[in-house]
Structure formats: C-alpha cells, structure tokens
Amino acid sequence: MSKRIWQHPEVPANETTVSWRSVGQLENTPEFRTWLEREFPRGAAEMADSEDAEVSRRSFLKLMGASTALAGFGMAACRRPESYILPYANAPEWVIPGKATYYASSFPRPEGATPLVVTTFEGRPTKLGPNTLHPDNSGTDAFAQASILDLYNPARSKQVLRDGQPSSRADFEKALAEIAKNKSAKVGIVFGRDDSPTRARLAKEFNENTKFYAYEALEGEKVKAIDGGQKIVVDFAKADRIVSLDCDFTSLDPVGPVTPFFSRRKPEGASYDKKASADSMNRLYVVESAYSMTGGMADHRLRVKPSQLLIVAAEIARQVGAGVFGDVEAPDADTKKWVTTMVEDMKSNPSAVVAGSRAPEAVHLLVAAINAKLGNLGEGKPVKVVRTDAGALAGIEELVADLNGNKIDTLILFTPSNPVYDAPSDLAFREALAKAKTSIHFGLRTDATARACNWHVPASHYLESWADARTATGVYTVVQPMIFPLYSECASEIEVLTALLSEDGMLMTGEGEVGAPSPAYIAVRKTFEGIAGEGEAAWKKLLHDGFLAGSKYDVGEINFAGRVDAAIKAAPKGGELELIFATDASVYDGRWIDNGWLQEAPDPISKISWDNVALIAPKTAKELGLYDEIVPLQTDTAAVPPDHEGEHRTGKLISIKVGEQTLEVPVQIGFGQAENTVIVSLGYGQGFNADDELGRPTTDEANVSLVGVNSGFNAYPLRTTAASYFAVLAEAPAKTGVKYSIAATQEHHSMYGRALAREISTMTDEESHKDFDAQLANVKKQGIDSHMPPNVSLYKQEDRNGQPLISDKIHQWAMAIDLSSCMGCNACLVACQAENNIPIVGKEQLAKGREMHWIRMDRYFASVNGDQDNPEMIPQPVACVQCESAPCETVCPVNATVHTEDGLNAMAYNRCIGTRYCANNCPYKARRLTSSTTTSATRLSPTTFTKGRSAKSRLAPPLTSSATRT
C-alpha cells in the first residue's frame, strides 16, 4: 500500500503570509507536486547510470565472493591481525595523546583578521574556533571554518614551478638570491589588502627601487574613496539606526566587528538576561540590488538597480542637509518616499550609514558627507576613519601602467587574488605581466597567475606560518604556526621578504638549522617588541591570548569636500538592463574554488551548489520571455518531467553580451531582486576537463583541482575597470536552448506543511499586527498545527508513581538557536562539517538530494500582503532537534538509535543496517545515510552531541578533596 497522502489545507484560514522556498513551490508546478509527493527523487533508490551499475549489489558479491573465500582459507583469516603502538621517541612538550591542545592564532583577511583558537591533536590542527577573549571577536564565518581544509587539501600547491613546469626549491633560491643581491633592480611587490604590522615594517626597509602595490579582486572603489591607506570602521554597538547602501556588512563585506550589531537586535540583551524591550533594538535599512544576508536581516529594504545607488545616496544627502549635488538624477516618487521616512527616523537617533566596497567612489564620498552631517563620524562615534599600518599603496591600474611602461624588472605577487584571472579585462594583465623581466607568484594554488609567472612558489598556509595581523579596529593579533609546513618547498610571505632584505638573499623557512627559529618568528617578535616593549612576559602573553590588549588603529580623517562632484561625473552610468558582478558566498572572488566544503555549501540565497547561475527577478524574467524557460508551467510530458528533478534538473543557458565579450550562463529566478538586473557571481569557471557537460575548452584544466574543475561560468572577461561592479547590457539576454544541470538544494527535504519557520512582528499598526500576545497565540497554530488533533504520544512521559522518566536528573542537554539573529550564512553548516568529518558528495549526488550536511539551512521567502516582488527572507537552520520523544528511535528495527540518559538522540553506527526507517519518520528530515550501498557499515547519523566538545565535559572531573577525605 503506498504512502498515505495527507490533504493539508494549504494555508490556515486567516493567514495572510505566503511563504515559499523555490519558484516551483510558488507556481505549484506539476513537477514540483510530483517531486513533493515522492520523498526522494526518482532514481535515487537505484544506482541507475552505467557507472553506478558496475558496483551494484550483485556484482559486488561476485567480485568479492572469490576473494572472500580465499581470505577464509588463507592463514591471515585465522590469526588475529597484529596492530602496533608507536609512541614518540622523544615526547614533545604539552602533547597528551587523545587530548586537544589549543593555541591562539588568527586568519589574516582584508577586512580585518579573524581571531581564532585552533584545536590541535598531537600537533595537527583539526578545528578552528573563535577567540572569545579577543575584543574584536565576531565568531568565525564559513570561510574561516573552511580554511582549515586548505591546509590538508591534496590539490594544494606543493612544488616550485618555473614557467608552469615543475622545478626545485634550490633553483628558486638561486634566483631569489640574485634578485636580493641586486639592490638597484626595480622591484614591484604586490600584497593583498590584509594589514600586517610586520609586513609594513619590513616594507619600509626596502630601498627606493622597490615599489609596493596592493590588489584584491573585489576591493572596489572604496579604496579610492577612503584613500591614504585608511579605512572605515563601524562600531555597531553605538548605532541605533543603520543604513546600508548595498553593503553586505554581516557577511561578505564587513566594515567592523559584526557581533555588536546582532547583540543590539536581541531585545533581552546579548546574554538574554534582561527584560525584553524593543527600545534597545537597532533598526536596519538596506538599499540593494540582489538579496544578501544583510538584506535578509533588514527591517526595511529598498531594491534598486546598482546605478541608482548614487541617486539614493544623493537624495539622502540632500534630505539630511549634507549638500545638494546637481548632476544626479532625481529619484522616483516611491524611492523618495522611502528615503524621506527613513531620514525622519535617522535624524533623532545615533546612526551609521555604510556603503558597499564596490559601490562607486561618489557613493562613498556622499556617505562620508552624510555621516559627518549627522554627527556619526569621529572618535567615540559609530563611524570612524582609521589609519592602517600598510599605508597608501598603489593599485592594480598603476601596476599595469608601470608594467607596460617597463618600469618593473622583477614583480613579486603575494596577493591572494588571481590577477591573470580576475583583474578587469581591459587591463590585459597577462600581457602586462609578460613585460616584467622576472615574475614570481606566491600562493596556495597553482592557479592562472601561478602558471603565467616565471616562478611560482608554494605558500605556507597561515596555520603553518609566523605572521601578525590587525583585526578590524586595529587590535594587534598574532598568527602563529601550529605545525611545520607540510611540504618542504613552502615558504611564508615574511620569510621571503626577509630573504629579499638580507645581504645574501638566502631563503630560510621553517627551522633552518635544527632549533634555529624561522626568520618570520624573529621578524614578528621584533615588530612586537617595537610596539609592546621587550621581555618574555609580554611575548608569552601575546602567544597565549593571541592579541595585544589595548592596541588599536590611530584615527584618521577623510576629506570628501570638493571631491564629490568630480566623483559623480566619473561614476558609471546606468542603463535599462544591468548585469551585476556579484561577490560569491562560496568562492568569494574565486580563491576558494578548490575547497570542497565551500563549494558544496549551498549559496545562502540561491541555494545552488557547485556552480554559479544568472539570477533574474521574476517580473523581469517574464518581460524578457525567460520565465517559461525556467519554470515551464505546462508541458506535454507533465507526467514524466523531462527535467527539473534530482540529477536531471537543469537550467537553460542564456547568452549575455557586454561589449565584445559573451557569457553563456544558466538562468534562475532570484526573488527579492531589483527588476531589470541580472546577477552573476564571480569566481567560477576557472578550468574545465574532458568531462565537462558543455564541452568547454580544456586549456585551463591545470589551474584547478578535481574539486574546482567544470564548476560554473567565468564572468570576469565581461568585467572592465569602468564596469567593475555592474555593466549595462546593450541587448536583452538571448536564449541559447542549451541545458546545463544544476544542483539546487532548495526543494530538498520539504517540510510537507510542517511550519518550521514561524514569524511574528513587533509592529503595532492597526491592520493586522495589533497585539503581540494575540500573534503569539496565533503562531502556535501555523502549518500542520492549525488542524492537527491533539497529540496522543506513544511515549510514556511519567512512570507509575507520576515521576518524570528522565534518567539523569542532573544533566540534560539542550541547544538553542536564536532564530531572530540567524542570517543564514552557512557558518554553522561548515563548522559542523569540519567538526564531524562530514564528507562532501559532489554535484551529481547532491542534485539527487544526497547531501550529507547535518545542519541544513532552509531559506524561505515570505510575502506579507501579497507583495511577492519584495519578499522577506527567513533563514531556518534545521539540525537534528534531539526530540525527547523521538519518532526516529521507535522505528529502528535494530535499535541503532537510542536516547541517552542526558537527553540526546544517539546513533550507534555499527548497529545500523540501513533501513532508513528513521529518516522516513523524522519530521524535520534531519537524518542522513552515509553510505549508499548496503554493506555492513551503513550509518545513519543525526546527532553530533555525543562526541567532541560535549562528550569532553561529560567525562568525570577529578573528585574534589572533600569526597576523598582521608
């Protein structure tokens, strides 16, 4: 008998909110309904394609049958296999086998380093966590969590390359020595935009023949606007109203530590200990084109095309009295009304206005003027301009000009970006690079730039290097190595700089002679002594805490007067249809393309993994005639969908043309996006091999590993210096008729009417949200709860004497997630993957719904009052909720999943036989099977609390003396 189909009323009677996760759900397409009714996609139960069939159960037994028999007769099967214990010859200090040792370090980044506490086991780092002692601690985001995988990535660069061919470290050392000894050679050194005091100090020691540049692909025009080596830092604790002009400051475009922002949004206070009061909460206004996570948190959101950002900024400036700038168009009536209401709100509260890094220079200057006028700018105020240690460094345009003018003999690239791949295409960086006599690239991956340079030197990972960094507000933070460089040819940036500064140019890395410290250690220690004085005590405290207490940046100032008009003239003009080159939440600018965890983590907004797509707003898609391409509403073969399901889901490719360059990219619907925009994220399409679905040229195959190959579409060729954030499309995108498979997770694990994400409002207008208590009472009846009969539990809650049946009366576990604060950034998803060794499954398996993540991040769009063009975004993290009366525990035929005495749902992996009844019964669809064939080692795993951190704290601590009194 087939599965019973419940006919739920779609939405409770008085419910006005419509929520949806995907276009299919919204349009209620036949494909979606079919997909929904069958829990797993068609074909997921079998291993249908030819490759999989080779390993079907029958053939497995056939293959193994012979060797199993042989093993039985052989001597090896009779004896117990010997295993060995190999202790150290000389025990290292502090290492206790089986116990973790924790060290403070940090992850250097352009927006300020992320302070970390690294968990190491026997000298090997295994997990990164935030350094809670650090004043700028804002947790760790998905990139920081995934960065540990790069340390162990087998595709990491291990060998010195000479013109793209394997060479040796000895050869490079000779070349480096030549360069170092030649003090009159013209050297250009390109850093990233992360700030390092030691690097800045060493840079000052070079002579006048060495010129320094800094380049990051997505630095935007902010570095031009906030010039002189300064940057903006926002103290969100001080701001009651925050206005973001396309600044995704909570995740991809930080302007200061972000935890204070979230703390101000908790009505009970950051520690949930005060009485709930809406008065202390901040309010966020966001003006943006695409949905971002900050936009998801926004209280009020305005969608504009990127060219209109300038108009909005000018209007705000006009209304607050910061100035009237004539050359800017006037906003339309709706925008003006929105701005007026917002400005009213801002005038009477301390506020902070922030602009996204990639907005035009004019917007940054206007924002500075607005902040100055509102009194937000300065020491002790929400917005501050600070001076970095790096100082003013020349940018990529000047670099290319110098290269083309033959002003650089030797070019050394330390930047983590990949200029041959990601520099604006009109700069023709590859050709300019060839003009340098010698070019040296230094990096973790053998990417396009590595192969285009004369030398490529594998970089030490930051977990293997001595360095220092500054966090967002300028706190001096150390980067200390956890382990010697895993590959002997690796060198760190400071080691190379030290070699260049030395007389003989000898490159020393790690510990040269046994026991001698790395030159990077000596350099960092010297820098620190210059700041904090000499002596062991201060140094040891730095290593222990990870930072120098009380350190911060000096305050600077921004001179915007007189620059605004010229900047407005130079600002890029808009057009009817605008293509936005977006920062990607999985690969950023492309540097993480070989990181499997990040690639598999679905994009927080579009929920697409392993690829990028072009996102278009639904209205615009309909106008351009593309909507039917994406969501066929009626097909001849509706009973058997030609695509749109599981591994057969595809997106149709559209062709986008900017200037002479064309990009063919699959198109999907982007809800909440501004109309007349097309959004493509950057960083993909770096290399293809023979297995590429579209048969793209394989010339760049060596630039990526097997993780990043055949992944996505490269939008960088369309990007120029004039159009580095957005480009105007002269013509509408053309249909190509070609299909490309897409791994979208947004329809996986549908909730079948169980309302997980529930929302109520603190608004008290007359229309619908009158009474908070009434809303609370109403929200308990959302989804299935609106029509479910009272629950009759099969579990006894109390024993015969009326005592609750909780085994351990002292310890009971609980985990709480503050859903009001959750922005859906995937940091928890990647952290869980790091902690629990959750495997990645790859694009094809993920499309079938077999992603292994123990936490999934559902993302709902919800429109109140029917405005589906500007919906709210509600992220809902779903992990195993450790049900007390767990439906998965009762149905396991072998009792592999049980409830522990202290309230956790536990999984005994070795007992599981792969029935998957538990996954079937889980109302949250939180259970995953780790093996796809039925062998004796299947495991179905929901629970993480029984090992790692929580298990540690359950171990018996040593008894106190009172219990053992003698």
Partner 1 sequence: MANFFPRWTNILPFKIAICAGSLGAGAVAAFTWYGTPKTQAVGYQPSQPIPFSHKIHADQLGMDCRYCHSFVDVSGHSNVPTSNTCWNCHQHVQKESPKLQPLRNRMDPALKHPDFGKPVEWVRVHKAPDFVYFNHSAHVNRGVSCVSCHGRVDQMEVVFQDQNLSMGWCLECHRAPEKHLRPLEEVFNLKFDAEDYLAKSNREDFKGLKTQEDLGLKLKEMWQVQPRESCATCHH
Helix (H, G, I), strand (E, B) or coil at 710: coil
Q: Is the CB of 82 or the CB of 279 nearer to partner 1?
A: 82
Asked if 881 interacts with partner 1 (CB under 8 A), we say: no
Least distance in angstroms from the C-beta of 850 to partner 1: 23
Among 56, 59, 820, 910, binds partner 1 (CB under 8 A): 910
Among 80, 275, 569, 573, binds partner 1 (CB under 8 A): 80
Q: Within positions 911 to 930, which residues make up the interface with partner 1, using CB under 8 A?
A: 911
CA distance 94 to 101: 8
Residue from 669, 659, 681 nearest 728 by CA: 659
Least distance in angstroms from the C-beta of 481 to partner 1: 22
Asked if 966 interacts with partner 1 (CB under 8 A), we say: yes
Q: Is the CB of 13 or the CB of 86 nearer to partner 1?
A: 86
CA distance 583 to 679: 10
Alpha helices in 267-354 (DSSP H): 293-297, 309-320, 333-347
Q: In terms of DSSP bridges, do strands 300-303 and 351-355 run parallel, antiparallel, or are they unpaired? A: unpaired
Q: Is the CB of 18 or the CB of 908 nearer to partner 1?
A: 908
Q: Mark the segment that binds partner 1 (CB under 8 A) among 93-101, 104-112, 393-401, 632-640.
A: 93-101
Q: Mark the segment that binds partner 1 (CB under 8 A) among 154-162, 553-561, 630-638, 893-901.
A: 893-901
Asked if 779 interacts with partner 1 (CB under 8 A), we say: no
Q: Is the CB of 770 or the CB of 947 nearer to partner 1?
A: 947
Strand partners, 20: 861
Q: Is the CB of 438 or the CB of 882 nearer to partner 1?
A: 882
Asked if 124 interacts with partner 1 (CB under 8 A), we say: no
Q: Is the CB of 55 or the CB of 951 nearer to partner 1?
A: 951
CA distance 688 to 695: 8
CA distance 311 to 336: 10
Residue from 442, 478, 436, 392 nearest 134 by CA: 478
Structure tokens that stand for 227 in this block: 């010039």
Q: Is the CB of 657 or the CB of 899 nearer to partner 1?
A: 899
Structure tokens that stand for 476 in this block: 């001096």
Q: Mark the segment that binds partner 1 (CB under 8 A) among 81-89, 229-237, 387-395, 511-519.
A: 81-89
Q: In terms of DSSP bridges, do strands 661-669 and 614-616 run parallel, antiparallel, or are they unpaired? A: parallel
- Total site size for partner 1, rule CB under 8 A: 40
Among 76, 91, 763, 805, binds partner 1 (CB under 8 A): 91
Structure tokens that stand for 689 in this block: 């091999």
Asked if 97 interacts with partner 1 (CB under 8 A), we say: yes
CA distance 454 to 373: 51
From residue 933 to residue 962, what is the string marking binding to partner 1 with x (rule CB under 8 A)? ----------x--xx---x---xxxxx---
Q: Is the CB of 868 or the CB of 946 nearer to partner 1?
A: 946
Asked if 894 interacts with partner 1 (CB under 8 A), we say: no
Residue 524's CB: how many other CB atoms inside 10 A? 26
Q: Mark the segment that binds partner 1 (CB under 8 A) among 87-95, 708-716, 816-824, 877-885.
A: 87-95
Q: Is the CB of 444 or the CB of 896 nearer to partner 1?
A: 896
Q: Is the CB of 487 or the CB of 909 nearer to partner 1?
A: 909
Q: Is the CB of 556 or the CB of 887 nearer to partner 1?
A: 887
Helix (H, G, I), strand (E, B) or coil at 138: coil
Burial of 45 (0-12, 13-18, 19+ CB in 10 A): exposed
Q: What would you measure as the largest C-alpha separation in the chain, in angstroms? A: 92
Q: Mark the segment that binds partner 1 (CB under 8 A) among 77-85, 226-234, 453-461, 577-585.
A: 77-85
Q: Mark the segment that binds partner 1 (CB under 8 A) among 537-545, 711-719, 842-850, 903-911.
A: 903-911
State how far the alpha carbon of 764 is from the alpha carbons of 163, 253, 278, 767, in Å: 67, 33, 12, 8
Among 906, 921, 923, 949, binds partner 1 (CB under 8 A): 906
Asked if 511 interacts with partner 1 (CB under 8 A), we say: no
User: ∠ CA 766-771-776 to the nearest 5 degrees?
Assistant: 135
Residue from 745, 739, 743, 683 nearest 713 by CA: 683
Q: Is the CB of 576 or the CB of 901 nearer to partner 1?
A: 901
Residue from 847, 861, 851 nearest 650 by CA: 847
Residue 428's CB: how many other CB atoms inside 10 A? 13
| Rg for the chain, CA atoms, rounded | 29
Least distance in angstroms from the C-beta of 808 to partner 1: 7
Cβ proximity of 353 and 245 under 8 Å: yes
Structure tokens that stand for 714 in this block: 């490269």
Asked if 87 interacts with partner 1 (CB under 8 A), we say: yes
Contacts of 787 (CB under 8 A, 6+ apart): 8, 9, 12
Q: Is the CB of 71 or the CB of 774 nearer to partner 1?
A: 71
CA distance 23 to 45: 26
Asked if 77 interacts with partner 1 (CB under 8 A), we say: no
Least distance in angstroms from the C-beta of 121 to partner 1: 11
Q: Is the CB of 807 or the CB of 820 nearer to partner 1?
A: 807
Q: Mark the segment that binds partner 1 (CB under 8 A) among 84-92, 224-232, 556-564, 623-631.
A: 84-92
CA distance 437 to 449: 16
**Residues contributing to the site for partner 1 (CB under 8 A):** 80, 82-91, 96-99, 808, 896, 898-901, 904, 906-911, 943, 946-947, 951, 955-959, 963-964, 966
